[in-house]
Structure 1
Amino acid sequence: MADHVRWGILGAAKFARDHMGPALNAARRGRLAAIATSSEEKAAPFAALAPGLAVHLDYDALLADPDIDAVYIPLPNHMHVEWTLKALEAGKHVLVEKPMAMQAEQFDEVIAKRDATGLIAAEAYMVVHHPQWVKAKELFEAGAIGKIRRVSVAFSYDNSADGGNIRNRPETGGGAIPDIGVYAYGTVRFVTGEEPEDILSTCIERQNGVDVWSHITARFPSFHYTGVVSMRMAPFQEVVFHGDGGVMRLTAPFNAAVYGEAAVEVQDNALEVRRWRFPAANHYVHQVEAFNASVLDGAPYPCPLEFSKGTQEMIDMIWKADRG
């Protein structure tokens, strides 16, 4: 391997074109080197971004490319485990879009393959690489809000007009909870270091076989959780950690710079407010740089598969509770 990671992308997804492709190319010690897609036309925007880009017309051809060190997988959810395993078997490091799997037990085969190959495999859970969330965890652990009692999360957007979107299709692993519930649940676990003990209530609305709106309450060891995620509401996102010594609020916690400016606000019991702003941070670039450091230097990856499996375990608990 050279002094940088040579990246390939499986599929010309819009998200890859708009966010992760640029991040792969902008991150230090990395370069976007190849894409696998069904046509040169779909590859064109990526080629414009990365001159000299190799274009493969099927996924297996990219995995066989000896000039590629790592692959980013933005395929539909139900294809993530299959192609992660294939990439690892082909000797490539893997960064795969969330959710990695549709059930927690599916992580086990990927973890075993990661360990057997000695390669890096991780879910693209970019938010925990953002300095906003790093600061929130630091403040929480320092006791900035005292003893935690309540966490409230809201994350919504509206894609009702896009019936063909993979998020609106059950056969591709669609639904709001697999798409954005991972953020509503995983970030709370990240900051507090706690795991849910029980799902107290579920109220889930479904359309065409996928969840489009849900209100979930859960009991964690130290606090009560309440959260709404939806693909049928006006765009909104906010996370609030409420303790006996203060309140911590995160603005634009999941789509920093797209939804708005990422910031952390802490209000103490005297109603005094401290605020930390992060207007320029790009969590996609930070994520890729962390991955590159793991590949090149052997640095521990900040968001291992074991953490991602824990979020899926909470989702599995929600599905089980909703079935009664």
Structure 2
Amino acid sequence: MADALRWGILGAANFAAGHMGPAIHAAAGNKLVALATSNASKAAPFEAFCPGLDVFLDYDAMLEWDAIDAVYIPLPNHMHVEWTKKALAAGKHVLTEKPIAMVSSEIDELIALRDQTGLLVAEAFMIVHHPQWQRVREIIASGEIGRVAHVDTAFSYDNREDTDNIRNRPETGGGGIRDIGVYTYSSVRFATGAEPVALSARLKRENGVDTWAQVVGEMEGPGGRFTYSAMTSMRLPPRQEVVFQGDLGSITVSAPFNAGVFGEAQVAVRDLDGTIRTERWPTENQYVRQVENFARSVREGAPYPCPLEFSKGTQAMIDMVFANATEIAGPG
């Protein structure tokens, strides 16, 4: 594959084995060539779809290898900034899982390093690469549903039995807000161009991590100010939905975050007469699109759809939620 962007994966996470590894392997103009893992047995799922993969049992050794151009980092949240910096220092482009940092000020450091090195570093916020969300933004900007007045978002799953999961552990930067609040907050920012102006939150914790959170407030953007509500939970049955309510209609976004896994990606636009137009994307793979856009930015200088400045805005919103949260009792 001539001039393909050569990738190494830093950490054999299940998500990398099931989604991002295969996406890198399948993406046009890209080639998965290496994996670094502290446990050799975890390489098997990667080698199954990518025979001949070079496996390193030392993270630094892979970063020092000249045969890779870019690194994908799916390590636990608390390790993201440290290893992103190390990968940049090794001269690699970096795509790091969300949240790329634990607080927004850490992203300032990454922006400075990006600008200093000339390397691309970005957060792996895949939904902005999906035509479903690009279409939502187009519809809102067109004025078809009028002025956005309110947005409801919800994302939940139940992992209470998986006690060793990094999302259930405070020392690894766990919790529902950092894991899935990224989506319920950032998707609205992406679609509307709005930023929060006032937020309050209630949350429940178990073992030092938030397992349920309800955020309400106001956001303001080019289309004006609107009210906002977001629910995230790691203790409720699976649910994903976003609804944009305008004064001329509404947009309901189905399977907005795990398109193709949770369900088919759809956008349903309802007008004042109750007529519904539904647009569907049954086969798009947002992970493959993300990798291809990353390579295009590296090779051709194309603008990347999710720059660090956008990710900083999302992390600032997460910081705001934690700063304005009240803890309540009860099962999450």
TM normalised by structure 2 equals: 0.96
Looking at structure 2, the residues matched to 170 and 39 of structure 1 have their Cα atoms a distance apart, in angstroms, of 23
Question: What SS is found at the alignment partner of 1:223?
Answer: strand
Looking at structure 1, the residues matched to 106 and 48 of structure 2 have their Cα atoms a distance apart, in angstroms, of 37
The aligned counterpart of 2:230 is 227
Q: 1:251 aligns with which of 239, 251, 254?
A: 254
Looking at structure 2, the residues matched to 64 and 90 of structure 1 have their Cα atoms a distance apart, in angstroms, of 6
1:23-78 deviations in Å (ceiling 9; x for gaps): 00001100110000123321122122112211111100000000000000000000
1:141-189 deviations in Å (ceiling 9; x for gaps): 0012101100000100000000100000000000000000000000000
The aligned counterpart of 1:204 is 203
Tell me, yes or no, if structure 1 residue 213 matches structure 2 residue 216: no
2:255/2:264 contact within 8 Å kept: yes
2:175/2:209 contact within 8 Å kept: yes
Looking at structure 2, the residues matched to 64 and 186 of structure 1 have their Cα atoms a distance apart, in angstroms, of 34
The aligned counterpart of 1:301 is 304
Q: 1:314 aligns with which of 312, 317, 322?
A: 317
1:2 to partner: Cα distance = 5.1
The aligned counterpart of 2:150 is 150
1:98 to partner: Cα distance = 0.1
Structure 1 residue runs without a partner (length 5+): none
1:218 to partner: Cα distance = 1.5
Question: What SS is found at the alignment partner of 2:196?
Answer: coil
1:69-121 deviations in Å (ceiling 9; x for gaps): 00000000000000000000100000000000010001011110011000000
The aligned counterpart of 1:187 is 187
Mapping for residues 45-84 of structure 1, pairs under 5 Å: 45-84=45-84
RMSD: 1.1
The aligned counterpart of 2:330 is none
Question: What SS is found at the alignment partner of 1:51?
Answer: coil
2:10/2:74 contact within 8 Å kept: yes
Greater mean alpha carbon deviation, residues 306-315 or residues 36-45: 36-45
Greater mean alpha carbon deviation, residues 16-25 or residues 291-300: 291-300
What amino acid sits opposite 2:216 in the alignment? T
1:36/1:59 contact within 8 Å kept: yes
2:155/2:232 contact within 8 Å kept: yes
Question: What SS is found at the alignment partner of 1:219?
Answer: strand
What amino acid sits opposite 2:235 in the alignment? R
The aligned counterpart of 1:172 is 172
User: Percent identical across equivalent pairs?
Assistant: 59
1:248 to partner: Cα distance = 0.3
What amino acid sits opposite 1:217 in the alignment? V
The aligned counterpart of 1:109 is 109
What amino acid sits opposite 2:251 in the alignment? M
1:123/1:304 contact within 8 Å kept: yes
